[in-house]
């Protein structure tokens, strides 16, 4: 809620994410990508409201969506005492703090400088996280912290610096190193390549891919379509708070390419492609149209776009057949 008005920051977002898979969530700034990640971790402002369900299961277990309670849906662990999965949107703060954040879900934050503790060095924060999430003996803690930093190319000679002494790129690498500790079964990476040069972008993307290939899930939130192409198995395109296309990454970046006109426009705006920007501006989330939110910017809009298209067969557009034919 903002200024006494409800703002639908994210609506009708439905997707699954398997172990060993990366889903890249892409779209313009303000479309709701980071809000979605914050909702999964219970990090929304106090006046925010959520509806629906979001389940995360432990490695090696599959949720049963036909069941009605968490105990039935996920089963139990040893001796029937430990639930094998957690419903995130309905979880209380105690559950989120003790069993979800860092353990079931790791987070690479969008603003790493604000995420890092300002009065502790990077080394101290890495060691603290290692003690909390891994069985690291005290005598090997220093070496383990250096190994954690090396995963994201954070230089060992900067480990004893405080966050305010780091560049934006170094802060980003420190935050990513912290998120990878514990090898959580699900990693949310919110713009993990911000402030990095191209070589470090590729290095970070490759490390995230290795993390995924080891059997963990990755939700990559990014503006960097080149990084998404390098690491993603599937792509979800978000526009004005809604997912408008969900596609296999090979198809999305290759042939025949995106089916939704907005998704196609995102790719066409890349310098190595048509280098043509998407015309116009997205609508304010506080003033969304009743029909297709992209219609005002779309060259194919017709009267039918006055009604909101549902996400059908992976795309939310009334003109999908025409787009597919053109491809």
Residue 237: CB atoms within 10 Å:
26
Query: Is position 140 within any domain?
Result: yes
34, 11 contact by CB (below 8 A): no
Query: Is position 79 within any domain?
Result: no
Question: Residue 172: which residues within 8 A CB-CB, separation 6 or more?
Answer: 112, 192, 193, 194, 195, 196
180, 134 contact by CB (below 8 A): no
Of 297, 296, 234, the C-alpha closest to 266 is 297
Quick one: pLDDT at residue 69? Answer: 47
Of 85, 87, 4, the C-alpha closest to 50 is 87
Pairing of strands 105-108, 217-222: unpaired
Question: Residue 32: which residues within 8 A CB-CB, separation 6 or more?
Answer: 9, 10, 13, 238, 240, 241, 242, 285
214, 183 contact by CB (below 8 A): yes
Query: Is position 166 within any domain?
Result: yes
Print the domain residue range for 148.
114-183
Count of the separate structural domains present in the chain:
1
Taking the CA atoms of the chain, what radius of gyration do you get in angstroms? Answer: 21
Of 178, 177, 154, 181, the C-alpha closest to 166 is 154
Query: Is position 197 within any domain?
Result: no
Quick one: pLDDT at residue 84? Answer: 46
Phi then psi dihedrals of residue 245, to 5 deg: -155, 140
Phi then psi dihedrals of residue 326, to 5 deg: -65, -35
Query: Is position 319 within any domain?
Result: no
Helices 122-133, 168-180: inter-axial angle, 10-degree rounding? 10
Q: Give the tokens for residue 140.
A: 């090997």
Within its chain, how far is the Cα of 131 from the centroid?
26
Quick one: pLDDT at residue 194? Answer: 86
Quick one: pLDDT at residue 134? Answer: 93
pLDDT digits (tens, 9 = 90+) for 58-108: 765 554 545 444 444 444 333 333 344 689 999 999 999 999 999 999 999
CA distances from 102 to 135, 187, 193 (A): 14, 9, 20
Query: Is position 313 within any domain?
Result: no
Q: Give the tokens for residue 213.
A: 């290939």
The whole-model pTM stands at 0.88
Q: Give the tokens for residue 91.
A: 């979880």
Sign of torsion over alpha carbons 93, 98, 99, 103:
positive
Quick one: pLDDT at residue 72? Answer: 43
C-alpha angle with apex 149: 145 to 152, nearest 5 degrees? 155
Query: Is position 284 within any domain?
Result: no
Q: Which residues of the chain have pLDDT under 70?
A: 1-4, 59-85, 321-327
Helices 168-180, 141-150: inter-axial angle, 10-degree rounding? 120
55, 87 contact by CB (below 8 A): yes
Quick one: pLDDT at residue 1? Answer: 52
Quick one: pLDDT at residue 105? Answer: 95
């Amino acid at each position: 809620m903002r200024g006494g008005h409800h703002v639908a920051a994210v609506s009708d977002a439905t997707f699954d994410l398997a172990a060993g898979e990366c889903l890249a969530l892409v779209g313009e700034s303000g479309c709701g990508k980071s809000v979605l990640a914050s909702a999964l971790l219970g990090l929304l402002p106090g006046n925010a409201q959520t509806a629906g369900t979001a389940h995360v299961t432990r490695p090696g277990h599959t949720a049963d969506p036909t069941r009605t309670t968490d105990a039935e849906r996920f089963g139990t662990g040893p001796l029937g005492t430990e639930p094998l999965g957690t419903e995130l949107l309905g979880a209380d703060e105690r559950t989120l703090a003790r069993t979800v954040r860092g353990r079931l879900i790791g987070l690479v934050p969008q603003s790493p400088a604000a995420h890092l503790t300002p009065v502790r060095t990077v080394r101290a924060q890495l060691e603290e996280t290692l003690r909390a999430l891994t069985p690291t003996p005290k005598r090997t803690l220093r070496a383990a912290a250096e190994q954690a930093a090396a995963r994201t190319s954070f230089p060992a000679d900067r480990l004893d610096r405080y966050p305010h002494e780091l560049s934006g790129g170094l802060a980003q690498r420190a935050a990513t190193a912290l998120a990878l500790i514990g090898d959580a079964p699900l990693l949310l990476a919110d713009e993990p390549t911000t402030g990095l040069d191209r070589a470090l972008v590729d290095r970070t993307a490759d490390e995230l891919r290795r993390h995924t290939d080891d059997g963990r899930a990755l939700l990559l939130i990014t503006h960097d379509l080149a990084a998404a192409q390098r690491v993603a198995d599937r792509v979800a395109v978000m526009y004005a708070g809604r997912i408008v296309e969900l596609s296999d990454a090979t198809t999305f970046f290759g042939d025949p390419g995106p089916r939704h006109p907005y998704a196609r426009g995102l790719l066409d705006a890349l310098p190595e492609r048509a280098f043509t920007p998407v015309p116009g501006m997205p609508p304010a989330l506080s003033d969304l149209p009743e029909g297709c939110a992209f219609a005002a910017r779309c060259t194919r809009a017709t009267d039918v776009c006055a009604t909101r298209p549902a996400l059908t067969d992976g795309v939310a557009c009334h003109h999908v057949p025409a787009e597919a034919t053109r491809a």
